[in-house]
Amino acid sequence: MNSRKEATTLKQFRLTIRLVEGLGLLVSLFFFFKAPDQITMHFNGNGTGDATGSRWLIFLEEVLLVIVGEGGILYATHFRKQRELTELPRILPNEWSLIVAVVAVLVLFSVLMGQQIAI
């Protein structure tokens, strides 16, 4: 029974993070198909683009989002095991903070992708 509680709570947390990562992939695909062959990769202090790259680089943001999300999952799993909270049947406040952080990164990257393809 205890392993079931652990599995359910951690599965809910992992599923939430991975759903955000999946949404990030959909956003990346949307911008990829709307992007020209060359996109802006760097903006100078005036806000104008001064470096370009292939539109395939739009997926760099998705890779970074997955790294942040999976790092959050590893941290949360380690946090629960270290403090013997694996049986607690709730998503912890620090786990909610990680979910909010991953969503914030997704929003930030979505805005950046829009600027990169000049929407």
CA nearest to 98, candidates 117, 79, 84:
79
Please indicate, yes or no, whether the overall pTM of this predicted structure exceeds 0.85. Answer: yes
Full domain range(s) for residue 88? 2-116
Q: Percentage of the chain with pLDDT > 90?
A: 66
Number of domain units in the chain:
1
**CA distances (Å), origin 49, targets 93, 108, 118:** 39, 18, 10
Give the mean model confidence (pLDDT) for residues 18-30: 97
33 pLDDT above the threshold of 60: yes
